[in-house]
Amino acid sequence: MNTSIPQDQKYSQRTQISLSPTLRQQIDKPKKPNQSLSEFIRQAVELKINQQEQAQTDLQDRIKAAKSFIGSVKIEDHPEWSTDEKIMNYQRELRREPPGRYDRPKS
C-alpha cells in the first residue's frame, strides 16, 4: 500500500456506513472468508486513494510534458503550417493512403 496513508490502526476511529444489500453481496464475493468487512473496506479505500493520487501525479506529468513541448517547434521550419488552409492540406496528405495499398495481388 501507499506509504502516504498512515498505519495508525492503534488509534482507529469507528465509523458507521450504510451499504445496500446488493453492494454488501458484491463485497462478500471477493472478500476472504476470514477477513473482516472493516478490513476489506479499509483496503478498498486505501486502494482508491492510491489510484487517485497516481491519477493526479500522471496528470501533472502530462501537463509538464505538454508545457515542455510548447514552443519547441520553430514555425518557420514548417511552411506547411503557415496558414489554416496549408495545415488542412498537410493533414489530408498525412491521412491519404499510400497508392496501391489495397490493390489485389496479380495472379
Tens digit of each residue's pLDDT (9 = 90 or more) over 91-106: 998 888 777 766 777 7
CA dihedral 45, 62, 96, 77 (to 10 degrees): 180
**Is the pTM higher than 0.75?**
no
Per-residue pLDDT of the chain (107 residues; tens, 9 = 90+): 455 566 666 667 888 999 999 999 999 999 999 999 999 999 999 999 999 999 999 999 999 999 998 888 888 888 888 899 999 999 998 888 777 766 777 76
